[in-house]
Amino acid sequence: MKFIIENLSKSFGDKKVLKDINFTFEEGKIYGLLGRNGAGKTTFFNCINSDIPADKGKFLLETDGQRREIKAEDIGYVLTTPTVPEFLTGREFLKFFLDINEDSIKNPKSIDDYFNIISIDTEDRDKLMKDYSHGMKNKMQMLINLIIEPNILLLDEPLTSLDVVVAEEMKQVLRQMKAERITIFSTHILDLALDMCDVIVLLSHGVLEIVDKQDLNSQAFKDKILSALREDAHV
């Protein structure tokens, strides 16, 4: 499976944020999307998720040589600030979600099995989610995106506001999930990107560009990424 972006452009007024992007993402890899503040990472995600209309461009999914346009259900989008319907309990949310997606979920598990995956305590499962902590909400959001097994998983700074234990758990979950899908992970933290991602992609000057690791050691690779990002500032 491949996720192909063709001629994606997006401007706000005179400001061209995405300039005719052509890129192919491949299955089974986690892509680390790096860019300076305001480089357009969130805009890029929002265009893929059709939250904002792109000025131009196509998003295609290629499976076994067959291409088609992506649909809403192909995408899972995990936001920095997790949002969950707070009037429901964790269990109710999962039940509702499983109910309406019963046709599309392969190998459904029991609700408690799902809670176990993301280690949410038994006593918290029947609490209203308005009383959940940030980390618990984040886990719920991740879990929903995990169950739906989206073809494309977009993660916008998903781990930065979590405590170390939850962050580590989430990393494990993401690594387990990466087979059979394309994961694009945006972050400001270089070490996190190097730790998690198979491919580092820079978004600078409105285009995507792979940073080739070749046979650099990790420090040299880091320096290469940093200098590429610094160049951006001189434009």
Partner 1 sequence: MYKTLRISFSLRNAYRVNGILYSLKQIPIIKKLLPEKIYGVWGLKIFANIVSVIIEIISAFLGKFLYFYLMIFLPTFLITDVVGGNIVSSGQIFVHILFFLSIIGSYMNTFLFDPTRDKYYGIIIMRMNAKRYALVNYGYSLIKLIIGFLIFGLLFGKAYGVPLWISLITPLFVTGLKLTVAVYDLFKYEKTRNATNENKPGVIKWVIVFVLLGVAYALPLLNTYIPLNIAAYLMFIPIITGALSLRKICTFGYYREYYKQILQPEAYQKDLTRKVMNEYSKKLISADTSITSKRKGFEYMNELFVKRHHKVLWKPSRIITFVLIGLILLAVLVLQVAPDSHAKINEGLLNYIPLLTIWVYSMNRGPNYTQALFMNCDHSLLSYSFYKQPKFVLKLFSIRLREIIKINLLPASVLGIGLSLLLFLSGGTDNYMNYLVLLTSIPAMSIFFSVHYLTMYYLLQPYNRDTEMKSGTLQIINLVVYFACFYIMYLEIPTMLFGAMTILFSLIYCIVACILVYKVAPKTFKLRM
- Contacts to partner 1 by CB under 8 A: 12-14, 46, 49-52, 72-77, 79, 83-88, 92, 95-97, 99-101, 128, 130, 144-145, 148, 150
Min separation Cβ 179 and partner 1, Å: 20
The distance of closest approach from Cβ of residue 32 to partner 1 in the complex, given in angstroms and rounded to an integer, is: 22
88 or 189, CB closer to partner 1? Answer: 88
Which two three-digit tokens encode residue 202?
Answer: 């820079």
Cα Rg, the chain, nearest whole Å: 18
Q: Least distance (Å) from partner 1 to the CB of residue 9?
A: 16
Rounded Cα distance between 3 and 60, Å, is 6
Q: Which is nearer to partner 1, 51 or 198 (CB)?
A: 51
* Distance of closest approach, residue 12 Cβ to partner 1, in angstroms: 7
For partner 1, the closer of residues 61 and 193 by Cβ is 61
The DSSP result for 90-153, as a single string, is HHHHHHHHHHHTTTT-SS---HHHHHHHTT--GGGTTSBGGG--HHHHHHHHHHHHHHT--SEE
Select 105 or 211, whichever has its Cβ closest to partner 1. 105
Its sign, for the CA torsion 120, 121, 127, 130, is negative
* Min CB(14)–partner 1 separation in Å: 7
Between 23 and 77, CB nearer to partner 1: 77
Write a three-state SS string for 80-101. Answer: CCCCCCCCCEHHHHHHHHHHHC
Distance between CA atoms of residues 117 and 145, nearest Å: 13
